[in-house]
Homo-oligomer: A and B are copies of this chain.
Amino acid sequence: MTKELIFGHQNPDTDAIGTAIAFSYLQNKLGYDTEAVALGNPNDETQCALDKFGFKAPRVVKTVKNEVDSVMLVDHNEPQQSVADIDQVNVSWVVDHHRIMNFNTANPLYYRAEPVGCTSTVVWKMYKENGVEIPANIAGIMLSAIISDTLLLKSPTTTQDDKNAVEFLAKVAGVDYQEYGLSLLKAGTNIASKTEKELINLDAKSFELNGHIVRIAQINTVDLPEAMERKAAFMKEMQNASASDNYEMFMLVITNILDSNSEAIVVGTDECKLLFEKAFDKKLVDSSVALPGVVSRKKQVVPPLTQAFAN
Bound: A115/B129 CA distance, A = 18
Contact with B along A46-83 (1 / 0, CB 8 A): 00000000000000000000000000000000000000
Q: Is there contact, CB below 8 Å, between A113 and B104?
A: no
When distances are taken between beta carbons in the complex, the residues of chain B under 8 Å from A233 are none
Contact of A109 among B99, B108, B303 (CB under 8 A): B99
User: Which 9 A/B pairs are nearest by Cβ-Cβ distance?
Assistant: A108-B115, A111-B113, A106-B306, A99-B105, A101-B104, A129-B129, A100-B105, A111-B111, A110-B114
Q: Is there contact, CB below 8 Å, between A111 and B100?
A: yes
When distances are taken between beta carbons in the complex, the residues of chain B under 8 Å from A108 are 97-99, 113-115, 298-299
Give the copy number.
2
A101-B104, A106-B307, A111-B113 given; name 5 further pairs at CB < 8 Å: A97-B108, A99-B107, A99-B108, A106-B310, A110-B113
Q: Does A311 contact B (CB under 8 A)?
A: no
Q: Is there contact, CB below 8 Å, between B107 and A303?
A: yes
Q: Is there contact, CB below 8 Å, between A115 and B105?
A: no
Q: How many residues of A are counted as interface, with CB atoms below 8 angstroms from the partner's CB atoms?
A: 27
When distances are taken between beta carbons in the complex, the residues of chain B under 8 Å from A106 are 99, 302-303, 306-307, 310
Scoring A101, A105, A108, A298 by chain B CB atoms within 10 A of each residue's CB, the highest score goes to A108
Bound: A303/B129 CA distance, A = 31
Q: Does A236 contact B (CB under 8 A)?
A: no
When distances are taken between beta carbons in the complex, the residues of chain B under 8 Å from A111 are 100, 111-113
Q: Is there contact, CB below 8 Å, between A115 and B104?
A: no
| Nearest CB of chain B from residue A156's CB, rounded to whole Å | 12
Q: Does A102 contact B (CB under 8 A)?
A: yes
When distances are taken between beta carbons in the complex, the residues of chain B under 8 Å from A303 are 106-107
When distances are taken between beta carbons in the complex, the residues of chain B under 8 Å from A110 are 113-115
When distances are taken between beta carbons in the complex, the residues of chain B under 8 Å from A105 are 99-101
When distances are taken between beta carbons in the complex, the residues of chain B under 8 Å from A302 are 106
Bound: A103/B113 CA distance, A = 14
